[in-house]
Amino acid sequence: MSSRRWNRAQEAEKKYWRSTKEGWLNDDRRLYWQEILNRGFGLDYNFFRNKDVLEIGCGPSGIIFQIDTAKHRIGIEPMELGNLIGEDWKKSIVKKGVGEDLPFEDNSFDIVISFNALDHAINPDGVIQESHRVLRDNGDFLIWIYTLRDTYRPLQRVLNRLDPPHPHHFTYDEVISKVDSNSFRINNRRFEWGTGLKNDTIKKLFGNLMMNTAWIWSKKI
């Protein structure tokens, strides 16, 4: 993918977070992320207790801000979040960077999280490879992502160009293949039809028609 296309995606992301700030600031994000964890992985926040945890692409309201049981937590984010998060304690968690070039030593983390982020990356395979590198042996890699239904796979190239914040649209099997081919062992996986979002806009309506929600829990081997 060209840097121009990725920069366009980043601008669309900034616009999205700014326009929806009032909504996600007022939501119960702790409950929201607990539901995602439990629905897809059967986990709760105790899973992160006393662990070193990294979230790739945390944005201003990622799950990393809710994981207060962790021994150490960091969120990597390419966007400048200064005007989106005001609390100093949140700013101390975030480190500016990209998932394809993580500024950490090998075997630094027990858990790496990629929630609704892999399809925003410049090079998704590079993100998975870097996640493997910074994880400790038998470390956990948690992915939550919207995937394109196989029926609409012929539209991938068109969607990659036309959907501003999403330069990639993967099928479920494609994401599984990427994880498998980068020295991870799939521990658990599942998907549901649709995105789970309300059909209150045309984009969300089409998203529910064309996409699924996938959870993939893998281990470093």
**HSE-CB of 188 using CA atoms within 13 angstroms:** 12
CB 138 within 8 A of CB 170: no
**How many beta carbons lie within 10 A of that of residue 157, not counting itself?**
9
d(C-alpha 21, C-alpha 5), whole Å: 24
Specify the residue for token string 């201003």: 60
Alpha-carbon torsion, ordered 85, 86, 91, 96, to 10 deg: 50
Using only C-alpha atoms, what is the Rg of the chain?
16
pLDDT in the model for residue 187: 92
What residues form DSSP beta bridges with 148? 171, 211
Round to whole Å and give the CA distance between 199 and 71.
Answer: 39
pLDDT recorded at residue 12:
85
For the entire predicted model, the pTM comes to: 0.94
pLDDT at 85: 86
Residues 178/147, Cβ–Cβ less than 8 Å = no
The whole-angstrom distance between residue 34's C-alpha and the CA centroid of its chain comes to 15
Q: Are 184 and 220 in contact (CB under 8 A)?
A: yes
For 174, half-sphere exposure in the C-beta direction (CA atoms, 13 angstrom radius) is 17
Which stretches in the chain have pLDDT values below 50? Answer: none
Whether 16 and 40 have beta carbons less than 8 Å apart is answered as no
Structure tokens belonging to residue 22: 């009032």
**Is 75 within 8 Å of 99 (Cβ atoms)?**
no
Rounded CA gap, 95 and 78, in Å? 8
Contact 79, 13 (CB under 8 A): yes
